[in-house]
Amino acid sequence: MQQRTIGHRSVSAVGLGGMPMSIEGRPDEDRAIATVHAALDAGVTFIDTADAYHRDAGEVGHNEELIARALRTYGGDTDGVLVATKGGHLRPGDGRWTQNGDPAYLKEAAKASAQRLGVDAIGLYQFHRPDPSVPYADSVGALRDLLDEGVIEMAGISNANPDQIREANDVLGGRLVSVQNQFSPRFRSSLPELELCAELGIAFLPWSPLGGITFARAGDLDDAYAPFQEVASAHGVSPFRVALAWELALAPVVVPIPGASRPASIQDSAQAADLVLTPDEVARLSAATA
């Protein structure tokens, strides 16, 4: 598979988002494990998770533990797989998502994540979402300390705006390696962040790159965005594969992380790395709106 760079690591151009395997509507464990194994078979070497990817109270880190089991039980070599996780976003178990950007909390959360993942140091740790009750620099400062202590190898942020990207990079002494924001054909408000990451040489990791779990499961990307279906038909592929190829074409720092809960889904997504769109097709898709 085509490779891209996150910090000092080379990873597959298309990653795997683990969230659908652990939240509402999640598959049974066997199918989830099979999905991760299918991703690895397809050449995926970047997997994204978070301690908040769980459904019920009392199962914090469900997805981290699932990913760790899948890697342990895979029959092939997983040494080159980069697993990224996140902290600072919480699910109390009642359907809500809350924030905790307290530096002391983030440091303990990172250490707990490392234990669940079964690693001495987390490959990439990301501050999941800004906490309005805590100065942003203080939260990111926890990641700086975790880097210095060797608890994490690389640091990133998620759900950040351009000012926060610049602030985080300053706090980290130029060591910010990734920004994970929502971006897809139907959600493009993070385009300024993508462009800033391209300018700074920081990896941009679109989450929900197919428009979200419900949207992707409904299969209506083609209905809402006709040009994606038209380009897909011309290439004989799915419109979802076209969506990922379009994102990859926007900048060399883009590494989409489509979520999946079935082997077939990630197998299709992974092939987006080999789909070459013409400049005219990219321009057409960039202009397409619902």
What amino acid positions are annotated as catalytic residues? Answer: 53
CB 157 within 8 A of CB 86: no
Residue type, 18: G
Structure tokens at 150: 């060797």
Indicate the DSSP class of residue 254: B
Structure tokens at 287: 């202009």
How many Å apart are CA 249 and CA 236, to the nearest integer?
19
Q: Across the beta sheet with 46-48, what order do the strands follow?
A: 16-17, 46-48, 82-87, 124-127, 155-158, 176-180, 203-204
| Cα 90 from chain centre | 17
Tokens representing residue 174 in the block: 């130029």
- In terms of C-beta distances under 8 Å and separation of at least 24 residues, what long-range contacts does 71-80 make, across chains too? 71/36, 72/118, 73/33, 73/37, 74/36, 74/37, 74/40, 76/40, 76/41, 78/40, 80/45
